Amino acid sequence: MEHLIECKDIIKIYRGRGIGGASRGFKAVDGISLSIRKTESYGLVGESGCGKTSFARSILYLDPPSSGKVLFDGTELGALSRKELRGFRKRMQIVFQDPNSALNPKMSIHDSMSEGLINRKVPETDRVKRIKELLELVGISYSYRNRYPHEFSGGQKQRIVVARALTMEPDFMVLDEPVSNLDVSIQAQIINLLSDLKKEFALTYMFISHDLNLVSYMCDTIGVMFKGRIVEEAPSELLVSSPKHPYTRRLLASIPGGAQRSGAEDLADEEESVETLAARAGSRQKEMKGGKACPYYLFCPLGDGECVSSAPSLRDMDGGHVVPSGHKVSCHKA
């Protein structure tokens, strides 16, 4: 199947301006390569600070990557001029976590939604028609169009933000924690809405979340991130039922309310106590110095000399199957 997004070795370094000149900078994304097929939902999970959002911003060229290539529908985004890039921007949209800061409080929702369309010189009659259709589609009455963001609830605001992203008729949508600010009973409404829209417009999603339950429900493929790298990638059933990387196993075991919800009962016993983890991290701190070690070595229950001398790269876990399962792991011990 055709790929909509192909990334090769994306690296994003944020240059720090420390006292007394430039510091070494912070590598938020450390060489990620991944591909997303058309109409696929790709889930990116990981803890805060692991580089999920930096990666998403990089591939959308909101914050161009420090190195690496992004192919969007076969076109390399890095090679485009600003003007050409603007043409592609329309096809990729992002929905942020907090709908309160995503909507301008001084603009009515109709104005907020018109902005992009006006920029694209869409005639007024079409504009109004499209806004009307989309608002009704996400479950907001068109008669509310002249209201301001504060007059809506959190769930309604998130619906409006989604509708606004759709005004541009995108192919690719990045959903960055789209429901984590919402109430439990509202989350399900928005998730169903996103599923419906995906079918209706044949959208491709990249779903960023820390919630493995949600991602394993929504997505076809899941990539697990740790310290700027993908440590494991697999079709979601496979990742949840037979996680290979020790970090993925730890994440699954940490899901509150019992790992059995993800069908991985045997993980519950694997979770180690804080003291064990802290002691291990303390004793291994020195070995990490060279910068060659596997980033997870610090916490890994399986690590040994091999993990210190070289960092593993993402490799296929097929083990002689004729049909590739798509299960990739970055671990010497998997």
The binder of other proteins chosen from 68, 149, 155, 303 (CB under 8 A): 155
In the set 75, 108, 213, 242, which binds other proteins (CB under 8 A)? 213
Nearer to other proteins (CB atom), residue 19 or residue 322: 19
In the complex, minimum distance from the CB of residue 191 to other proteins, in angstroms, rounded to a whole number: 6
* Choices 69-77, 119-127, 216-224, 322-330 (CB under 8 A): range interacting with other proteins: 216-224
Closest CB 263 distance from other proteins, rounded Å: 6
Contact pick of 14, 16, 23, 47 for other proteins (by CB under 8 A)? 47
Environment class of 213 (CB within 10 Å of its CB; exposed 0-12, middle 13-18, buried 19+): middle
Q: Footprint of other proteins on residues 90-129 (CB under 8 A)?
A: none
Length of the chain: 334
Site string for other proteins, 56-95 (x = CB under 8 A): ----------------------------------------
- Rounded to an integer, what distance in angstroms lies between the CA atom of residue 2 and that of residue 118? 32
Contact 203, 151 (CB under 8 A): no
> By three-state DSSP, how is residue 330 classified?
coil
CB of 304 to other proteins, least distance (A): 22
The nearest distance, CB 275 to other proteins, in angstroms, is: 7
- Collapsing DSSP to helix, strand or coil, 172 comes out as strand
- Binding other proteins (rule: CB under 8 A), the pick from 236, 312, 330, 334 is 236
Closest residue by Cα to residue 216 from 250, 177, 184, 261: 261
Q: Which is nearer to other proteins, 204 or 262 (CB)?
A: 262
Binding to other proteins (CB under 8 A): which residues in 15-34?
none
Residue with token string 């985004």: 77
Nearest-approach distance from CB 277 to other proteins, in angstroms: 9
Among candidate residues 4, 165, 166, 2, the one with its CA nearest the CA of residue 72: 4
Q: Which is nearer to other proteins, 213 or 325 (CB)?
A: 213
Where in 171-210 is the site for other proteins (CB under 8 A)? Answer: 183-189, 191-192, 195, 210
**Is the dihedral angle over the CA atoms 249, 251, 256, 260 positive or is it negative?**
negative
CB closer to other proteins out of 167 and 248: 248
Please tell me the number of Cα atoms within 13 Å of 245 on its side-chain side: 29
Question: CA–CA separation, 172 vs 245, rounded Å?
Answer: 29
Using CB under 8 A as the criterion, what x/- string covers residues 258-277 for binding other proteins?
x--xxx-------x-xxx--
Contacts of 19 (CB under 8 A, 6+ apart): none
Q: Locate 312 and state its tokens.
A: 């593993």
Cβ closest to other proteins, residue 192 vs residue 313: 192
Q: What are phi and psi of 118, to 5 degrees?
A: -65, -45
Residues 125-154 that bind other proteins (CB under 8 A): 153
Q: What is the C-alpha to C-alpha distance for residues 265 and 269, in angstroms, rounded to an integer?
A: 9
Residue 248 engages other proteins in binding (rule: CB under 8 A): no
Q: 31's torsion region: left (phi>0), alpha (psi -120 to 50) or beta?
A: left
How many other β-carbons are positioned within 10 Å of the β-carbon of residue 319? 7
The stretch among 59-67, 117-125, 215-223, 318-326 that binds other proteins (CB under 8 A) is 215-223
Binding site for other proteins (CB under 8 A): 47-48, 153, 155, 183-189, 191-192, 195, 210-214, 216-218, 236-237, 240, 250-251, 253-258, 261-263, 271, 273-275, 278
